[in-house]
Amino acid sequence: MKEKELGTYLKTKRESKGLTQSDVASKLGYGSPQFISNIERGISSVPLKSLKVLIDLYELNTGEIVDILLTEKRTEIINELGLKE
């Protein structure tokens, strides 16, 4: 799952801020924490609009986020093309 690394990273940062999935879902305007759970488990990708809110909420390093996203996309392309790294 290509979103797994970002999801794990976001979960770690959420927990370090002492926030629950419900807290975050509320800040993003979702009625249920299930969407946050799905993001953190790599089942769903985080919409860029929501990612911007998370960057601010968790006080994230944008360089780290960009690196994770680029690495995930690179891996996805390599896998889709059946190439070896």
Whole-number Å distance between alpha carbons of 48 and 21: 18
CATH assignment at residue 69: 1.10.260.40
**Residue 77: which pLDDT band, with cuts at 50, 70 and 90?**
very high
Average pLDDT over residues 12-30: 97
| Number of domains present in the structure of the chain | 1
**pLDDT tens digits for 41-75?**
999 989 999 999 999 999 999 999 999 999 989 98
Domain that holds residue 55: 4-81
Q: Where are the alpha helices (DSSP H) in the chain?
A: 4-16, 21-28, 34-40, 48-58, 62-81
